[in-house]
């Protein structure tokens, strides 16, 4: 039995068009995006310990050959905190020795000169006066000037002498073993005996040692009787001051009476002449003018005239030592 299936012809499709329904999207004006909170860890700056440099990496520069700059000015430069100074621009500080007779104004000039130059002033006369006062207080000197030298030799190392500088008055105050004795050492009783003490060899040796220690670095003005001949024989400037005995006695008389002391002019004149003789005839370091000292006779000079002359000498000494 045969079953006959009719032939089915499928039409050929060239193109199929599918029409999708129109979809309208809502208009979006802005989009806000929110992100979840993110916690950023705090980052601390590392702590760096300070570095202590004990020795500078760059050594100060010192010029051996001078650089000529006029006027002379101290040149200071800074390099990482290190101060570099041209050593050749520093002005050399002088050692100035002022010698001369008593009551001729040595201390007054020396103090004023030190203040003007910014130097240190050492009153050597006050040092011998302080030793004399020690002797008087401790019964080591008789009324006639005789000194118990054996006892003084034992005590000489115990005698402490120092100075306090008062910037307001520009004056030195003398201390004896810590006690202020500035006024007491200037009295006539001490003046009458100081020459007997100052001529003793071991006293002078002790005082000279102290004075040389004080003035070793320069920039010092020192007055006395043997500064230019014994203490600083190589001083940059030596000045020898003098005046007539009568003029010096009058100055001393005016000074003491202004302080209220009861003295006579004849008494002062006798003291001046006596001290001159003792100072010039003592065996140890007698008073004399150094061969290279500049003489200043101020008998007829005012203080201003005298000081102007000495400043000129200082300028000449600076030029010679430049």
Who contacts 265 (Cβ-Cβ below 8 Å, separation ≥6)? 249, 250, 253
Q: Do 139 and 68 belong together in one domain?
A: no
CA distance linking residue 264 with residue 197, whole number of Å: 24
Burial-class residue 174 by CB neighbours within 10 Å (0-12, 13-18, 19+). buried
CB 97 within 8 A of CB 238: yes
Q: Do 185 and 311 belong together in one domain?
A: yes
In a domain, 205, yes or no: yes
In a domain, 46, yes or no: no
Domain range for 208:
95-320
Pick the residue with more confidence: 44 or 221? 221
User: Per residue in 22-57, pLDDT tens?
Assistant: 656 556 555 454 545 545 455 555 555 554 545 544
Residue 322 pLDDT exceeds 70: yes
Q: Do 71 and 152 belong together in one domain?
A: no
Single out the residue in 70, 90, 110 at which a domain terminates: 90
User: Per residue in 269-294, pLDDT tens?
Assistant: 999 999 999 889 988 788 999 999 99
In a domain, 40, yes or no: no
Determine the pLDDT at residue 20.
Answer: 54
Contacts of residues 89-92 at CB distance under 8 Å and 24 or more positions apart, as own/partner, are: 91/318, 92/218, 92/318, 92/321, 92/322
CA distance linking residue 133 with residue 192, whole number of Å: 11
Q: Look over the chain and give the mean of its residue pLDDT values, rounded to a whole number.
A: 79
CB 110 within 8 A of CB 223: yes
Q: Do 108 and 236 belong together in one domain?
A: yes
pTM of the model: 0.59
Q: What is the CATH number of the domain that holds 171?
A: 3.40.50.300
Burial-class residue 183 by CB neighbours within 10 Å (0-12, 13-18, 19+). exposed
Compute the C-alpha angle 11/15/20, nearest 5°. 120
Q: Do 144 and 236 belong together in one domain?
A: yes
Q: Do 187 and 264 belong together in one domain?
A: yes
Overall number of domains in the chain: 2
Percent of the chain predicted with pLDDT > 90: 51
Q: How confident is the model at residue 70 (pLDDT cuts 50, 70, 90)?
A: very low
In a domain, 1, yes or no: no
User: Per residue in 181-208, pLDDT tens?
Assistant: 999 999 999 999 999 999 999 999 999 8
Q: How confident is the model at residue 75 (pLDDT cuts 50, 70, 90)?
A: very low
In a domain, 22, yes or no: no
């Amino acid at each position: 039995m045969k079953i006959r299936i009719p032939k089915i012809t499928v039409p050929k499709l060239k193109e199929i068009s599918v029409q999708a329904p129109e979809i309208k999207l809502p208009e979006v004006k802005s989009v806000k995006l929110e992100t979840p909170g993110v916690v950023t860890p705090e980052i601390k700056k590392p702590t760096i310990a300070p570095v202590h440099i004990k020795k500078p990496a760059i050594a100060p520069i010192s010029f051996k050959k001078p650089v000529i700059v006029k006027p002379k000015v101290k040149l200071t430069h800074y390099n990482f905190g290190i101060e570099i100074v041209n050593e050749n621009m520093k002005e050399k500080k002088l050692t100035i020795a002022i010698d001369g007779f008593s009551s001729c104004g040595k201390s007054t000039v020396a103090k004023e000169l030190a203040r003007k130059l910014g130097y240190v002033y050492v009153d050597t006369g006050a040092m011998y006066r302080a030793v004399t006062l020690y002797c008087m207080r401790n019964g080591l000197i008789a009324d006639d000037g005789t000194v118990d030298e054996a006892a003084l030799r034992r005590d000489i190392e115990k005698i402490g002498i120092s100075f306090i500088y008062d910037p307001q008055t520009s004056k030195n105050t003398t201390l004896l073993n810590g006690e202020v004795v500035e006024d007491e050492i200037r009295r006539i009783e001490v003046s009458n005996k100081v020459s007997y003490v100052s001529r003793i060899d071991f006293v002078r040796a002790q005082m000279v040692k102290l004075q040389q220690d004080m003035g070793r670095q320069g920039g010092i003005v020192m007055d006395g009787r043997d500064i230019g001949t014994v203490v600083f024989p190589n001083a940059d400037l030596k000045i020898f001051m003098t005046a007539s005995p009568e003029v010096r006695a009058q100055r001393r008389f005016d000074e003491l009476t202004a302080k209220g002391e009861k003295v006579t002019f004849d008494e002062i004149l006798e003291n001046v002449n006596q001290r001159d003789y003792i100072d010039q005839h003592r065996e140890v370091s007698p008073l004399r003018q150094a061969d290279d000292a500049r003489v200043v006779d101020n008998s007829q000079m005012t203080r201003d005239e005298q000081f102007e002359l000495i400043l000129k000498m200082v300028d000449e000494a600076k030029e010679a030592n430049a």
